[in-house]
A and B are shown apart, each in its own frame.
Chain A
C-alpha cells in the first residue's frame, strides 16, 4: 500500500487500500474531517471505521451532519461540529448530538453556517482564497451567533455583503460510484459539495462501489468529479454508503433512518447499537451480511434508467 507522497510517485501507482488501512494511515486524533455527500453518497462505512479505530477530538465538518455524525458523535470521536443543517432528514432530530448541545453546559462545540455559507467555505478552501462573499445573513442573528460570519463593504460600490472564511479539512472522505486505481473518481446523481470539499482538503479518501479500469474513466471524462491528482487512497467498499444511497446502485434505506430515531434517543440503546453494528464487526462486508437479505431487497432500485450513449468523437 502506498498512501503518502502523492507527488513523487508515478501517476499510475495504485492507491487502492482497505478501509482499515486508509483510516489508520490518513485520519489522526485531533484532525478536522469532512465526510460530505448531500443525502446521496454519504460514506457510513468510513464513519464506522473511524469509530472502530476509536479516533478522538475530531472536528467534524459537514453541511448536513445526518445520522452518520449522530453515530460518530454518540461514539465520542468528536469535540466540535461545523455544519449548516442538523437533523435526520424527513424524520426529525439527531438525538445523540442534541444531548451534547442542549442545556446549561453543552459539551460539543458548534460552529454554524447556512448551506450556502458552508458551500462558500469549501469553495474558498478549494480555490485558495481568504474568504467567500455571499448575499446571505442580512437581517438575521446568524452573524451574532457566529462571529466568523462578517459583513464587508464591496470595494466597488460599498454595498454590504457578508463573507465566510475558507475551510481546509485535514481529511475529506467521499463516496462515489466508481474510480480507477489512481483515484480518478466519477459520480452521477446528486453532487452535493463533494468536489469542493475534496479540493479543499489536505488528504482525500475516495470510497467506491466499483473499481474500474482507467479506460472506463477516459471513455467518459465529463463524469470525473475528483481527479486522482488530489486522492490519497481508494477504498473499494460496495454498499459503503448504506443507509444513504448510490444512484443506480441502491436506494436510500428510509426504514433505517426512521428506526435510528428511537435508538439515538436512548444512550444505552445507542451504546448497544455501537457494539453490535460497529465494534462487533470487522467491516462493511460483515455489516452487509448482518443487515441481511430483507434490507438488501428493500434498497434495490425498482428498475433501470440508462442514460443514452453520447459520442465524444475521435480526433487523431
Chain B
C-alpha cells in the first residue's frame, strides 16, 4: 500500500479519533476504539486520560495490547484499581466523559445489542453479552460507537437490548456513531442522523447498509481523508501489524 491510499478501517479510526477533540476522561475498550483513542491522544486530544476497563487509570500503554487486560496498561499508569472501584468510584460516580462501545446490532435510536442473535433462551448466535457495556452506556457523559456498517448490523429492530439508546428523549445512549461509510450524530428526538460521508462512499452505499429509512443531514459533508500524520501514527506506531487498520 502506498501513502496516497488508505483502508476503510483507517478512515473509520481517524474519524473516530477526531471526534475526541476536547475530551478529557475516556473509558477504553479493546480493538478499534483502543487504536482510535491512542491516535487522538497523539493528535487532537493530548489531554486525554485513558481508563481501561480492566482497571487502570492514566494508562500509557507502550504497545498495542491484544487484550484489554494487558500488563502494559499497568506499568506506568497513574492508578490501578479493583473492578469494584472502577465501576463504582470512576464510572457510576460520573467521572467518565466518553465511553466507547461496539455492537452486533444497533437501531436508529442507538439501542445496542451485544447479547444474542435470535431468541434469548434459544439463540441463533450467542454473543459475549454486556460486560461493562450496559453501565458504560448509562454512566458515560457521551457514548461513541465505532463499528463497520451493514444491513445485518444497522437494523430496524434489534433482537435484544443490552445497552440503552436515546429513544423518547432519553439521552443515555450514543452521541456519535462512526462506521466505515460515514459519521452519524443524533437529533434532539434521539434519532441517528448521517452528517458526513467518507471519501468514496455514496448515499446509495449507506442506504444499502442500513435497515431503516436513514435520516440525512441537510448539511451533509465529506469526511476529510486521513492525514499523512494520522496514517503514519496508525501504521508505524499504533498498529504496525495492521491488526485493526487493514
Contacts and interface: CB of A to CB of B under 8 A. Distances in A.
B71 A116 contact: no
Contacts of B68: 39, 89-90
Interface residues of B, number: 53
Contacts of A112: 115, 129-130
A86 B129 contact: yes
A145 B120 CA distance: 7
A145 B82 contact: no
Interface in B113-135: 115, 120-135
Interface string A246-271: 01000110100110000000000000
Interface stretch (B162-170, B193-201, B208-216): B162-170
Given A102-B125, A191-B80, A142 B134 contact: yes
Contacts of B84: 119, 122-123, 193, 196
Residue of B75, B124, B172 contacting most chain A CB atoms (<10 Å): B75
Contact of A90 (B30, B55, B125): B30
A183 B83 CA distance: 22
Contacts of A104: 122
Interface string B55-93: 110000000011111110011100011111001100110
Interface of B: 30-31, 53-56, 65-71, 74-76, 80-84, 87-88, 91-92, 115, 120-135, 138-139, 160-165, 167, 170, 172
12 contacts: A38-B55, A102-B124, A114-B132, A119-B83, A135-B135, A139-B172, A140-B161, A141-B115, A189-B71, A190-B55, A190-B69, A192-B83
Given A84-B129, A115-B131, 13 more contacts: A38-B55, A86-B126, A89-B68, A91-B66, A101-B123, A102-B124, A114-B133, A119-B83, A134-B92, A136-B138, A138-B138, A188-B80, A189-B80
Interface of A: 38-40, 63-64, 83-87, 89-91, 93, 97-98, 101-106, 112-116, 119, 122-123, 134-142, 144-145, 188-193, 195-196, 245, 247, 251-252, 254, 257-258, 301, 305
